[in-house]
Amino acid sequence: MTDVLLIDPDADIYAAGIAEALPDVRVHTDPGSASAAQVVVALAHAIDAGLVRALPNLRFIQALTTGTDHLDALPLKPGVAIASARGIHGPQMAEMAFLHMLALARDFPAMRDNQVRRAWVRWPQRLLFGKTVVLVGLGAIAEALAPRCQAFGMRVVGVSDGRRQAPGCDIVLPRGALTQAAGMADFLVVLVPLAPATERLIDAAVLAAMKPDGMLINLARGRVVDEAALIAGLRAGRPAGAGLDVFETEPLPPDSPLWTMPNVVVTPHLGGMSDIYARQALPLVIDNLRIWRQGNPERLRNLVRIVA
């Protein structure tokens, strides 16, 4: 018998799906009564050192998030396998990109302010049609976003060192050509994971290379963009605006100038969320439980690491 601890507001959905697919798995939703659990399924940030110490038999963590860096500092025993939920977020992240592009292009914040003031103010509307979107990073999210951009009549330029072509991209440039790509962008959409090579990848030089009316959208991680350089650039008018879902410090501090800049749209790290998240993640959870129970942790989908 495998004991699984589920920590999630939608634990009932996961539990029902697991019970149907793997009837010999026992699911717990109360950490206080799950000391026998060998597996934890939860958002990475919902797992802390106290929980790990309370689970002496823990051997597998299935994170329901793409990022698992929060787990690096936990007292995990050797042999514990960690897998992520990378690859399930394409639809919601793509739609978040469009929310930001449309809000910036059409100045939706001003429309909303005018509605509150009952002011009938009209201006020519900037279209996405015919514009160039540059996707920095060509993983699963870009693969979902790029064809949607083409459906809007946009030209799609990818930036990646990992591939020379990608679905939905008209051209793909190497990361060494990032400044050149930024100069093409009506919308520069940042999607790369945070790593030593990508920290502050979008720096003052990249921002200065953008078109005077170019917009930056960051859906990756806050530290991929040099936030101080971005604030300075926004004040100077290049980029012309920014749509930001992630920040160097989260929650975004109340005194950050980004809150009140008229050319910035702020969303509170909502990009990966959806109203069907459990149903999106459930097939991955079931597959990985099955693989782990077969004694093949090295074959887990989205395996991050096995603790040494």
Catalytic amino acids? 221, 250, 269
Q: Give the integer Cα–Cα distance in Å for 152 and 75.
A: 48
Question: Could you tell me which residues are beta bridge partners of residue 192?
Answer: none
Task: Give CA angle at 219 (270, 125), nearest 5°.
Answer: 90
Task: Give CA angle at 286 (284, 292), nearest 5°.
Answer: 100
Q: What spatial distance separates the first Cα and last Cα of the chain, rounded to whole Å? A: 26
Helix 140-151 crosses helix 90-105 at what angle (to 10 degrees)? 50
**Residue at token pair 């079931």:** 286
Question: Could you tell me which residues are beta bridge partners of residue 225?
Answer: 202
Contact status, residue 217 vs residue 101, Cβ threshold 8 Å: yes
Pick the closest to residue 93 from 219, 214, 178, 187 (CA basis). Answer: 219
Pick the closest to residue 21 from 34, 43, 46, 2 (CA basis). Answer: 2
DSSP states along 51-78: HHHT-TT--EEEESSS--GGGGGS-PPT
